[in-house]
Structure 1
Amino acid sequence: MVRVRGLQIERRLVHGSVAFWQGPRAPETKTHRWTVYVRGASDPLEDLSVYIRKVEFVLHESFSDPVRVVTQAPFCLTEYGWGEFEIIIRLFPLDDAKKPVELYHPLRLFPPPGQELSEKPVVSEHADVLVFVEPSTELERTLREADTKRLAPESWGSLLPLFGGDLKEVEIDDLRKVRQARERVRQQIEALRQEYETLTKELERSQAQTLHRHLS
């Protein structure tokens, strides 16, 4: 697979959740209906399946089948529950050679302190940046064309009007620095791992040669 050396492409994302209180008569274990999702930052109708193959949502272990897989856009999952917890979101790029990217989303069900429960939805959104380092030529072309493919508005249903606006550039810059730092650390770890494997093989080869001389 041919890769574009030295190229780095970024896609801006938002991971979020919308929670609806089900009223005072709802069962104790199903007080809220909530949806967790991943969407484009500047355009909620951006079709992320152009460069994301699937998304795994890892829920609290108390849920039946806590690892849920969504294979088509929009990448979202709806459930019922009563408690707040952190959801792990794994993004699997179309390029199989790229490792999954993990995001961590804090599910929010309740309004801020001082506000009473109401039918008003609780929206929690966080910005992130997906970085493709030296993508394949095919993926690079796909990423360049990603902005031209959009989802139908009805695919999001009633959630679309609840999404926030575009991200602030300062947020994007901070996230970009974090991603770049993580990538540098990952590359350093990989280089150390390869160096360790090389030294281990050389040591084993040296020990084998020494043993062979003693036995000869």
Structure 2
Amino acid sequence: MVHIGTNATPETPADGDEVCNALVWKTLVFGNTSVVCEKKIQVSSGSRHTDLFSWTTFVRALDNTDISKWVDRVVFYLHASFDGPVRIVTNPPYEITTEGYGVFEVWVRVFFKDPAFPPVQFSFVNVLADPKGVRANTIIKEIPMQVVFVCPPMWYVPLLTDKSPCPRRYASQDQFRLTDLSTVDQAKIRVLQKLDESTSGETR
């Protein structure tokens, strides 16, 4: 879980923007899918050949709503051996597809429409093949992450809570598994109650 906020509070809004005395929770899912290509690839200068994989890494909403309402862009950082290892995606679906045979750590940064909120950054090791050696049609790795917006400006709240579906399908959408809001905490607004001397912490 990542908490992000600005210096603004309901008492001291930033740049004159009225802010919401609330936390807005959003659940993102990031990861990758992978399928084995028909061709193999020769590695190094030897005669050894290995499987070549077509894989897609993505960032999406748990419920497949349109995160472009509040996300400005997503930047994917691939291994330095790739041509153009830094890939910037400014429109949904937020995904990139490429081919390769090795696993490595993928870094992702998500930038927001409100620049007062700093980007969130996370990483994961891409998965190409089943670790048990099973030759499956499609491998998928999904990691949920909750992003908590602290006291967002009032104009930003409707964008964060908009339930419009993603306007374009993700390439691997049929393989998505984390879509059931009953198994992962649903993105929600949690109104904060004003603290007083008798309150030791936030009430839920």
Instruction: Output the CA distance in 1 between the equivalents of 2:79 and 2:185.
Output: 29
SS at match of 2:81: coil
Please identify which structure carries the higher strand content.
2
Q: Which residue of 2 aligns with 1:122?
A: 139
SS at match of 1:137: coil
Identity among equivalent positions (%) equals 26
Distance 1:151 1:141, change over 3 A: closer
Matched, 1:28 2:42: yes
Instruction: Output the CA distance in 2 between the equivalents of 1:105 and 1:28.
Output: 26
Kindly state the Cα deviation for residue 167 of structure 1 after the two structures are TM-superposed: 5.7
Per-residue CA deviations over 1:120-154 (Å, capped at 9, x if unaligned) read 1110001101111121221112213x21x1124x6
Alpha carbons 1:14, 1:40 under 8 Å: kept: yes
Over aligned residues, Cα RMSD in angstroms? 2.2
Among candidates 66, 69, 82, match of residue 88 of structure 2: 69
Kindly state the Cα deviation for residue 166 of structure 1 after the two structures are TM-superposed: 3.2
Structure 2: gaps (5+ residues): 1-14, 44-50, 187-204
Among candidates 127, 140, 158, match of residue 108 of structure 1: 127
SS at match of 2:35: strand
Please identify which structure carries the higher helix content.
1
Larger Rg: 1
Kindly state the Cα deviation for residue 171 of structure 1 after the two structures are TM-superposed: 5.8
Alpha carbons 1:17, 1:107 under 8 Å: kept: yes
Instruction: Output the CA distance in 2 between the equivalents of 1:161 and 1:170.
Output: 19
Q: Which residue of 2 aligns with 1:160?
A: 173
Q: Which residue of 1 aligns with 2:154?
A: 137
Matched, 1:59 2:78: yes
Alpha carbons 1:57, 1:90 under 8 Å: kept: yes
Instruction: Output the CA distance in 2 between the equivalents of 1:116 and 1:142.
Output: 42
Instruction: Output the CA distance in 2 between the equivalents of 1:140 and 1:156.
Output: 25
Instruction: Output the CA distance in 2 between the equivalents of 1:76 and 1:17.
Output: 9
Alpha carbons 2:105, 2:124 under 8 Å: kept: yes
Alpha carbons 2:20, 2:154 under 8 Å: kept: no
Q: Which residue of 1 aligns with 2:66?
A: 47
Paired residue type of 2:97: T
Alpha carbons 1:127, 1:167 under 8 Å: kept: no
Matched, 1:38 2:53: no
Paired residue type of 2:176: F
Kindly state the Cα deviation for residue 35 of structure 1 after the two structures are TM-superposed: 0.3
Kindly state the Cα deviation for residue 160 of structure 1 after the two structures are TM-superposed: 1.5
Kindly state the Cα deviation for residue 61 of structure 1 after the two structures are TM-superposed: 1.2
Q: Within 5 A, what are the aligned runs for 1:82-93?
A: 82-93=101-112
Q: Which residue of 1 aligns with 2:189?
A: none
Alpha carbons 2:30, 2:142 under 8 Å: kept: yes
